[in-house]
Structure 1
Amino acid sequence: MIPPKPPARPDKVSLLRYLRLFRRDILSAQPERLYRAWMAEFRTPFFRSFLINQPELVNRVLKESPEDFPKSDRIGEGLRPLLGNSVFLTNGETWKRQRRIIDPAFEGGRLRDTFPAMLAAAQAAAQRLEAQAGQVTEIEEVTSHAAADVIFRTLFSIPIEHDIAAEVFTRFRAYQRAQPILNLAAFVPLPRWLPRFHSRATRRNAARIRALITALTAERMRAIEAGSAPDDLATKIMTTADPQTGARFDMAEMVDQVAIFFLAGHETSASALAWALYLLALYPDWQERVAEEAQALDGNSDFSTVSQLKISRDVFREALRLYPPVPMMVREAHCPHQFRDRDVPKGAQVVISPWHLHRQNRLWDNPDGFDPARWATENGKTCKREAYIPFSAGPRVCTGAGFAMVEGPLILSVLLQRFRFEIVPGKDPVPVAHLTVRAKDGIWLRVVRR
């Protein structure tokens, strides 16, 4: 049984149809040949775009010459109302300064400190799911709730039930469903003074989310000044000075960063967890292996148990391969380059697609199949080094990658320790790209108490 992927479009379509497909769902807008091509070029009247699917080219853009390929503003056009000037959207010296302040909060030692909050959120998710035992349940909602709880507990030391946390979560779900990953400004170069074609609902929800985050940030600043702030991620980031300038984030900058922590830490984890649970329902033998391994958590709330969740980690890693939460990354060539003897002019858009790279027919054994055991094979080890980038790679690798690789296997293990998840006939999910890779009509599974 092969996990579902979107139907590919024909190799040749008109520009108008392509743009319509792209705006609705960037995955099904792509032709089947991209799963075997090393590179593809796409031209519009406004820009040229190169999708690179060869490890050597991906390595050049992300690791060898990252300053030649900064993040494209075209993606930022759609996310700016919520994320402002966050580390996800900035480039150059601004980005470097932001990373110097943020990175220390996510160093290895801090993961041990955040583990109790992650475990508490996982246990709370299992407790909430008790009420749905025996029922068919929309799993993306379950994992979104759990991942949001992790973020609020680790960032601000408050559970999802906190009034502000609950409203941010509710507003963000509405924002995620209404906001396409790209808007018109991604395709057509617009002057700065023209409106960006964001819907009224998008602007309203983004403004409210930022107002709520501002309230939490202001409250934390007061606690820091009073010496009563908890030692969590928010406190760590807000009290860390740039080692080069000595400056800290001001209020506006911190609000921008919290917004991206919520997007990157909640939305992406929720996506990966939902697909992982679906895959385990599709492959019950693997589900039972994870459930058996999860017994290591019995009566043990120590960080050392994380190292025992090896099968769960391989399952989560495989879910990230098949359904990478961020399916495409866009960079812009700041100077001319050559890719495979083809000129890449300055200003060209360079698209790196984890979705296609992770299923590249020339690289992976059984590329469309679910096989957590692949990571112990020579092919799996090679591809993990050269063709596996769910968190990007190089200097712009996701700050929270280590965080996610603790959170994901832990939540899976806690849920599977208590429940079994079963496929619902006729409810096969169809992957689409919104802000992350989600299912078109949700992921519906039957939840059964063990």
Structure 2
Amino acid sequence: MTQPPKPPSRPDKVSLWHYAKLFRADILSAQPARLYRAWMAEFRTPFFRSYLINQPELVKRVLKERPDDFPKSTRVNEGLRPLLGNSVFVTNGETWKRQRRIIDPAFEGGRLRETFAAMWDASEAAAARFDKQVGQQVEIEQQCSHAAADVIFRTLFSLPIEHHLARDVFDEFRIYQRSQPILNLAALVPLPRWMPRLFSSDTKRSAARIRALIARLTEARAREIAAGTAPDDLATKIMTTTDPESGERFSTEEMVDQVAIFFLAGHETSASTLAWALYLMALYPDWQDKLAAEAQVLDKCNFSVMGKLRHSRDVFRETLRLYPPVPMMVRENTCPEDMRNRAVRKGSQLVISPWHLHRHTRLWDNPDGFDPDRWHTDNGKTCQRDAFIPFSAGARVCPGAGFAMIEGPLILSRILRDFRVSTGPVPVPVAHLTVRAKNGIYLTIARRER
């Protein structure tokens, strides 16, 4: 019988020096075992204090009850500035609220039906690429990145990934993803604003190229909107939406910032989860067969088929639990707080970690095991409500969460309908911009008899 994937190494204790070294190279391996059972833990540095909070009541306070009192940490966001500029992902306060008022209407429930055809076409294109690799051992993360980027460009700009500009953005982003760790030095040391940030030359060069390519797409769309020839896709919706309070629209520069985060959040996170889901299906062939049988309904483009992909949705949700694409989120308290009888100073870093919360030994039954059926148990339902935050929660929940829960199960099912995947080397999860495999995920593809 196939054993569950082993969790990352969890040392009982980690020295400050070892933690600092691992924190940049591999944040996941730096986490000691005690953090998977602690409700709260304090971490001190010479520069600031940070607190990991796992207790659901504390997470709820920060993300849902009082989000304005706990803005995103500017120290952590410094690492993403070269690419994301002043996007909705890194802003706080009134700027963020204005951005969300313009963005959110594009992601309302009805848009899922409108964009489904683009997702369907991207899933068909992904299956066609898989068909050319039957009998080969394939690096699956690259294939999933290709599929997720295709979805983004089709739904955002009505362009398939084969379009030369879309392809150029995708190729540059692959360079950026590996060159940029999840945090840079500015996240650990409160550097003065005048001091230069220590980004690698590859990071800065790739970010500049990506933004230049996105600017070309955005400027072209602005001309189409002015001429009345723009397609009715997400880019057009966002660029023509006015803030109901100020009456303003996004400028071209602002739109470049937003498209950069749409690409990061919608492509990178979806690709990460889809790759880990396929790996888990290779580990658990009985579940793989369940999804393949269920996927026989995928014979024509019809949004109603998503209601029939129940196993696929449960598998995708379980993958999000075990391998949350964004492993940690950092907030900063704006006033003194009392948390579990600890005085938390103003300006402290509060780390909310889906990586720990989703595997917490005091919350979940069989926390390190793969069990898609858990979502129908009392424990699973309780934890889904209180301890499952792959898309964050509260006011700053990802606006594309609904899109992800359509796109992921659809592509996963479409691939497994026609193909069988089997395991290669055991992948080791590490945190780049998202949770990826240290040396890739290699799976062998075979054609499935229908």
TM-score for both structures, normalised by structure 2: 0.98
Contact 1:5 1:430 in 2 (8 A): no
| Number of the residue aligned with 1:278 | 279
For the pair 1:54 / 2:55, whether they are aligned, the reply is yes
| Number of the residue aligned with 1:138 | 139
Secondary structure of the equivalent of 1:432?
A: strand
| Number of the residue aligned with 1:368 | 368
Determine the C-alpha separation between the residues in 1 that align with 2:419 and 2:68: 47
| Number of the residue aligned with 1:435 | 433
| Number of the residue aligned with 1:193 | 194
Task: Report matched runs for 1:27-426 at 5 Å.
Answer: 27-298=28-299, 300-424=300-424
Determine the C-alpha separation between the residues in 1 that align with 2:119 and 2:205: 31
**Amino acid aligned to 2:4:** I
Secondary structure of the equivalent of 1:7?
A: coil
CA deviation string 1:136-178 (max 9, x = no partner): 0000001000000000000000000000100100000010011
Determine the C-alpha separation between the residues in 2 that align with 1:290 and 1:140: 20
Determine the C-alpha separation between the residues in 1 that align with 2:244 and 2:14: 52
**Amino acid aligned to 2:9:** P
- Cα distance, 1:46 vs. partner? 0.6
Determine the C-alpha separation between the residues in 1 that align with 2:9 and 2:152: 34
For the pair 1:8 / 2:10, whether they are aligned, the reply is yes
- Cα distance, 1:358 vs. partner? 0.3
Secondary structure of the equivalent of 2:175?
A: helix
Determine the C-alpha separation between the residues in 2 that align with 1:66 and 1:343: 19
Determine the C-alpha separation between the residues in 1 that align with 2:239 and 2:111: 15
- Cα distance, 1:2 vs. partner? 1.7
Determine the C-alpha separation between the residues in 1 that align with 2:323 and 2:98: 31
Determine the C-alpha separation between the residues in 2 that align with 1:191 and 1:385: 40
Determine the C-alpha separation between the residues in 2 that align with 1:302 and 1:18: 50
- Cα distance, 1:4 vs. partner? 3.1
Contact 1:4 1:429 in 2 (8 A): no
- Cα distance, 1:75 vs. partner? 1.5
Aligned length: 446
CA deviation string 1:169-227 (max 9, x = no partner): 00000100111111111111111111100001100000000000000000000000000
Secondary structure of the equivalent of 2:195?
A: coil
Contact 1:4 1:431 in 2 (8 A): no
| Number of the residue aligned with 1:445 | 443
**Amino acid aligned to 1:80:** R
Give unpaired runs (5+ residues) of structure 2. none
Give unpaired runs (5+ residues) of structure 1. none
Contact 2:28 2:431 in 1 (8 A): yes
**Amino acid aligned to 1:98:** Q
Contact 1:291 1:413 in 2 (8 A): yes
Contact 2:12 2:34 in 1 (8 A): no
Determine the C-alpha separation between the residues in 2 that align with 1:10 and 1:380: 28
- Cα distance, 1:3 vs. partner? 1.4
Secondary structure of the equivalent of 1:61?
A: helix
- Cα distance, 1:16 vs. partner? 2.4
Determine the C-alpha separation between the residues in 1 that align with 2:11 and 2:142: 29
Contact 2:157 2:233 in 1 (8 A): yes
Secondary structure of the equivalent of 1:42?
A: strand
Contact 2:102 2:249 in 1 (8 A): yes
Secondary structure of the equivalent of 2:231?
A: coil
CA deviation string 1:247-290 (max 9, x = no partner): 00000000000000000000000000000000011000000000
- Cα distance, 1:17 vs. partner? 2.1
Secondary structure of the equivalent of 1:212?
A: helix
